[in-house]
């Protein structure tokens, strides 16, 4: 089973700042089969990024994904108030399709 470790656990930033979230896999994720989700309280997760770097439909271009192999990054270029939420990475290159434990992005 591939274990995904997200860091930091909590990230405190202000609107307008840049956010960098990390997702590290215990073994290589094949074909960059990695997605990022955003989840707000009481809501289902929303797909932001798939295939490590492709933005899902309707996702603003301030969200970008990068990385390969075992190290992946989600970058939010300029934080908007609505971006403060919990972010999860998920790999689907190897079953079981595991999630990271999440990074909480909070307002500083």
Partner 1 sequence: QVQLQESGPGLVKPSETLSLTCTVSNGSISSYYWSWIRQPPGKGLEWVGYIYYSGSTNYNPSLKSRVTISVDASKNQFSLKLSSVTAADTAVYYCARGASGSNYWGRGTLVTVSS
Contact flags string 21-60 toward partner 1, x per CB under 8 A: ------------x-x-x-x---xxxxx--xx----xx---
In 3D, which of 79, 103, 88, 104 has the Cα closest to residue 14?
A: 79
Q: How far apart are CA 64 and CA 51, in angstroms?
A: 12
- For residues 9 and 14, which CB has a smaller minimum distance to partner 1 in the complex? 9
98 binds partner 1 (CB under 8 A): yes
Angstrom distance (rounded) from CA 21 to CA 79: 13
- Binding residues (CB under 8 A) for partner 1: these are 1, 33, 35, 37, 39, 43-47, 50-51, 56-57, 88, 90, 92, 95-102
């Amino acid at each position: 089973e591939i274990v995904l470790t997200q860091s930091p656990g909590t990230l405190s930033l202000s609107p307008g700042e840049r956010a960098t979230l990390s997702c590290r896999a215990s073994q290589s994720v094949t074909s960059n089969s990695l997605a990022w989700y955003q989840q707000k309280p009481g809501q289902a997760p929303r797909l932001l990024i798939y295939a490590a770097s492709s933005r899902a439909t309707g996702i603003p271009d301030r969200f970008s994904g990068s990385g390969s192999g075992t190290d992946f990054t989600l970058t939010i270029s300029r934080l908007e108030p609505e971006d403060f939420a919990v972010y999860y990475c998920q790999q689907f290159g190897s079953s079981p399709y595991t999630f990271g434990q999440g990074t909480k992005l909070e307002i500083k």
